[in-house]
Amino acid sequence: MEAAVATHEHGADHAHADAHTHEHVHHTSFIRHYIFSTDHKTIAKQFFGSALFFLLVGGAFALLIRWQLAYPGEPIPVIGKWLPDSLVSNGAIQPGFYTQLVTMHATIMIFFVIIPIAAGSFANFCIPLMIGTDDMAMPYVNMISFWLVPVAALTVLAGFFVDGGTAGGGWTNYPPLSATGTGHTLWVVAIFMVGFSSILGGMNYVATVLNKRAKGMRMFDLPLTVWALFITAVLQVLGTPVLAADASLLFLDQVFHSSIFLPENLLISTGNLHSGGGQPILWQHLFWFYSHPAVYIMIVPIMGVVSDVLATFSRKPIYGYKAMVFALMAIAFLGFIVWGHHMFISGMSPLLGTTFMLSTIVIAVPSSIKVFNWLGTVWRGNIYFTTPMLNALGFIGTFTIGGISGIFMAVGPIDVYITDTYFIVAHIHYVLFGGSLFGIFAGIYYWYPKMFGKMYNETLGKWHFVLTFITFNLCFFPMHMLGVGGHMRRIHDPYIYDFLKPFQPMNEFITIFAILLGFSQLLLIANILWCLKYGKVAPRNPWKANTLEWAAPAHPGHGNFDRDIIVYRGPYEYSSPESKKDYLPQWIKPATKTSEKEHEAIAHEG
Amino acid sequence: MFDFSWNMLSYFPSSVSTYSDAHDSLFTIVYYLGVGIFLLVNSILLYFVWHYRHKPGATSYHYHGNNIVEFTWTLLPTILFAGLGLYSDEMWKVMKYPSRVPTPDVEIDVVGQTYAWSARYPGSDGILGNRGAKYRSNTNLFGIDPSDPHGKDDIVLTGEFNLPINKNVVVHLSSVDVLHSYFLPNFRIKQDAVPGAWIDVWFNGTKAGKYELACAELCGGGHYGMRGVVNMQSESDFNKWIDAKNAVRKQVLAAEAAQPKAPEPAPAATTAEDAGHTEHH
């Protein structure tokens, strides 16, 4: 691969020239070009930048949580003395602040980091480029979809400055607890807004994939990344309105004193509750009807990204392409009928428990199919260990652990014991960090050259992967043990309990690696920022990949492509006997003397 | 640095009920199944990654997959996982189905209130008095109907509760404010306490001793301190204890009857044994 990179340095100036000579560029002001832009690539970068920023914010909250669990009652180093007395006492985290940190860590990571980067940044960047079109079907809707996110983020973070603090009921914010306090109202409004952003994005992706594919491109010529994003978009469109409805109902309880979630005669003194006749479990049904598919909104796109990265760097077709597509569809469909496994202890009808247990366990089948097909893809490959590939392989290893711990959660009687303990914390982090975030890193490195026109630094990238992989596992794997030991989640001071006192050293161990894990991410930020300016100029197709985004100029301008794109074959013709090279891009005409030359020209041109 | 074992099963708190023994057996099956899948997948992955790493002049195999292989690795996990689901369903039914709750030897009400657990015992008549949400107040957490004579002798405790071993204990669980979750780690039992609903939880303890009761559903800033203790006693010890409580309750009722007007119709807590959440290690 390195050799390939080195031979193409001359390319990018030409690409920049393309961008600047393109007609649209002359007509856009700075604001329309960089801030309220309707260009899908600019919007993708905006999602990307805001998600990276919130990754640091959410990560900082996580470190405060870890500090408290390792050293309860000890002042927070450095920043402890700067925080107000409403949050800390003598620099140590107060119980109320702790529950707010737990809530905000999850809210930010889910709604402002992983969903925006997977279903916002990657979807925006990849869909038009990978289907060979100039932009989204609805560019203005797309712009609104982004700008709702920072507004929502400011709304939820404003909670820190209102009376009673920001939302503190956990990211699931079950009423009646969440029916009181201004912080919870702000949270509900923010969730409504990000939900709307998600719906707008989703309908745009569906419309774009169905209507704007390049000439000759059938649905089964789509790369798995696009398939995954398309299926995710369907989940967004069908699932998120239910969250919006749920949030609206809670808003009615909070502001207009209805009692949809509030039963008769509650002994709650705070707030101006009107209690009577409501049903708290209703919130959970509606919430999880969205939030289980939401887990797939966070992981399904990443499964697509990982598939593409594996095929490219194994120089091999995806094993069982159609099986992969059907498995994604099965995961998405099952995602809508399993929400009750989040509610095994909620007090819902036990008959439902049986149903949800069986449907949930069946999800292991399409997940296994995906893992087996990834193994099949690597099998007899010719594997290059680039940074994206390392992250994709890391994804398979850690996602497998997250999948296996999922079987524990699916079995009702076992779930009852380990739910709301550190076992579920370990599980969710193996899926959303070990799974989604490693896949996101793979995607960031893989498309960095196309997104910014520069190569990232491979050495720094590999260090980032190795450090993250080691510290991630040392941080999160022991949490399974805590969970089996019965260690509850969301508790400010576990050592109130005699049976948890022996776990203090393990919590300290976890905290040390959490801090190292947090600081390892600075390598990613440094790589991204440094190489923006000082990185090697990227060639058009640095990975010698087959999919259409690599037919576009190295740093594509508004409108994306500098030639007409016609698709002749599927996306995974690596090492095909039809070609002398070990790849055969989708846009290359079937072999004749002239097309061989054209192939050479495009692949090696900048 | 600390005692660490790779065997996750070694971290369980001691198992002290008929149900927790059955739970741990099921957990063990899933655990070894999981370890097996993990070793299988990751050793294959590592072998492939190492064996098929790029070498100069190497080429990869142009191959799109095989339907028989796909079919096989779809069918096998389906049989395996569906089997696991059906197998564990029996335990789910035993624990959760109302029809499977055994005839109670001892029956109590438990409610969560931010941030403590309270329990109500039937008193010397052996019958829990009627309750209703409309009667509920901070001095009558269980909403005991003041007009029901069975409720008069009921005993209300906060923080620590005694129960007999080798008996079917049925707990009627609810909450007076927000959601709580009744978590007995040694019994492997967890059930949300939902305001507006009474949910049955049952267990049959096998070992005497004091076991911690935790709240497992975030219920506010003081959630972490919502600790209780369940004191499992032999039948004779438990009978002695409950007889003493009944005697005290009788005296209180007699004293109230002697006074012309009883200010409080519902039984106040007869004891406020330290719930533990005020003491800090």
Q: Which residues make beta-bridge pairs with B131?
A: B144
CB spacing of B82 vs A345 below 8 angstroms:
no
Quick check: A352 contacting B, CB < 8 Å?
no
At residue A3, does pLDDT exceed 70? Answer: no
Looking at residue B261, what is its pLDDT? 58
Does the B103-258 domain belong in CATH 2.60.40.420? Answer: yes
Cα separation, A365 vs B75, in Å, equals: 8
pLDDT by position in tens, chain B (length 281) = 567 888 999 999 999 999 999 999 999 999 999 999 999 999 999 999 999 999 988 888 888 888 998 999 889 989 998 899 899 999 999 888 988 899 999 999 999 999 999 999 999 999 999 999 999 999 999 999 999 999 999 999 999 999 999 999 999 999 999 999 999 999 999 999 999 999 999 999 999 999 999 999 999 999 999 999 999 999 999 999 999 999 999 999 999 888 765 455 554 444 434 333 333 33
Average of per-residue pLDDT values in chain A: 91
- The pTM of this model reads 0.91
Single-letter code of the amino acid located at A91: G
**Is residue A202 a contact partner of residue A258, using CB atoms and an 8 Å limit?**
no
Q: Residues of A numbered 145-184 whose beta carbons fall under 8 angstroms of chain B's beta carbons: which are they?
A: 168-170, 174-177
Per-residue burial over B250-259, b if 16 or more Cβ lie within 10 Å, else e, is eeebeeeeee
CB spacing of A323 vs B34 below 8 angstroms:
no
Quick check: B14 contacting A, CB < 8 Å?
no
Q: Residues of A numbered 490-549 whose beta carbons fall under 8 angstroms of chain B's beta carbons: which are they?
A: 490-499, 501-502, 505-506, 509
Largest CA distance in chain A: 83
Cα separation, B273 vs B161, in Å, equals: 9
Quick check: A378 contacting B, CB < 8 Å?
yes
Q: Residues of B numbered 238-267 whose beta carbons fall under 8 angstroms of chain A's beta carbons: which are they?
A: none
Per-residue burial over A173-203, b if 16 or more Cβ lie within 10 Å, else e, is bbbbbbbbbbbbbbbbbbbbbbbbbbbbbbb
Q: What is the pLDDT of residues A561-600, one digit of tens each?
A: 998 999 999 999 999 888 888 899 999 988 765 555 555 5
Cα separation, A42 vs A36, in Å, equals: 9
**Is residue A42 a contact partner of residue A33, using CB atoms and an 8 Å limit?**
yes
Q: Residues of B numbered 120-159 whose beta carbons fall under 8 angstroms of chain A's beta carbons: which are they?
A: 133-134, 136-138, 141, 143
Residue A506's contacts (CB-CB under 8 Å, 6 or more residues apart) are A478, A481, A482, B2, B4
Residue range A2-262+274-604, CATH number = 1.20.210.10
Quick check: B47 contacting A, CB < 8 Å?
no
Tokens at residue A443, please? 């995607």
Domain ranges of chain A: 2-262+274-604
Q: Are strands B160-164 and B228-233 parallel, antiparallel or unpaired?
A: parallel
CB spacing of A176 vs B195 below 8 angstroms:
yes
Cα–Cα nearest to B37, from A396, A311, A424: A396
Q: Topology of domain B8-99, per CATH? A: Helix Hairpins (1.10.287)
Of residues A238 and A25, more confidently modeled: A238
Start-end of CATH 1.10.287.90 domains in chain B: 8-99
Q: Tally Cβ neighbours within 10 Å of residue A15.
A: 23
